[in-house]
Amino acid sequence: MSETMTMGECYGRAMAATAKLVSGIGPGQWHDPTPCTEWDLRVLVNHITYENLWGAELFPGKTMAEVGDRFDGDVLGDDPIGAFNRSVEAATAASTAPGVMDAVCHLSFGDVPGSEYAKQLFADMLIHGWDVAKASSQDAAMDAALVDVGLPLAEEAMSQAEGSGAFAARVPVPDGAPAQTRLLAFVGRRADWASPSPAPRG
């Protein structure tokens, strides 16, 4: 991990980058396909908004039972960009609070330090930010510092879960491929993915 960023700060930086991309989604693009083959753009953005909303509750110590089903279903409403931005503000405040990386978070599979929860959310946000960029025909270059953090995490996660069905199959890449290409390959994505039916952004 970066010597200058906590995992919570990495998550916050990934959210900020993704917020710029979500804000760049055109009115006619919300139902365009994404690299997540079963999700269109709206479903994808709903997912990462949902994750942020949960983070804003679980980082301060709430249990899943206390949160309940409040965020089930559509959390975007009539203002998907605004809804995502508000989730980013809430999750950033929660994940960068003093001491939160060492505090206990109560997750579905057990209690973990905040840093472990932030690691999961960071990796999800980083990859899905790229998904948003590709699906909406925006610049898909990732923050190089975040790629450096995310690459070993993706390699570790894939080595543990390969064959379980939790992730898409790893994509083969040539030796010497750029770090971003290798990161994407570990999570089953091709760096040259293109939407089969892109819509205008305006």
Q: What is the CATH number of the domain that holds 116?
A: 1.20.120.450
In a domain, 133, yes or no: yes
In a domain, 161, yes or no: no
**Average pLDDT score, the chain:** 91
In a domain, 43, yes or no: yes
Q: How many residues does the chain have?
A: 202
In a domain, 53, yes or no: yes
Selection from 45, 41, 53, 43 nearest residue 18 by Cα: 45
Count of domains in the chain? 1
DSSP string, 11-74: HHHHHHHHHHHHHT--TT-TTSB-SSTT-BHHHHHHHHHHHHHHHHHHTTT--HHHHTTTT-S-
Question: By residue range, what is the domain housing residue 79?
Answer: 7-140
In a domain, 148, yes or no: no
In a domain, 109, yes or no: yes
Identify the segments of the chain with pLDDT beneath 50. Answer: 1-2, 163-166
Distance between CA atoms of 130 and 199, rounded to whole angstroms? 17
Task: Report pTM.
Answer: 0.91
Q: Answer for the pair 48, 124: CB distance below 8 angstroms, yes or no.
A: yes
Structure tokens at 117: 């929860």
Structure tokens at 10: 């990495």
In a domain, 18, yes or no: yes
In a domain, 189, yes or no: no
For the stretch 150-200, pLDDT in tens is 999 988 876 655 544 445 677 888 888 999 999 999 999 999 999 886 555
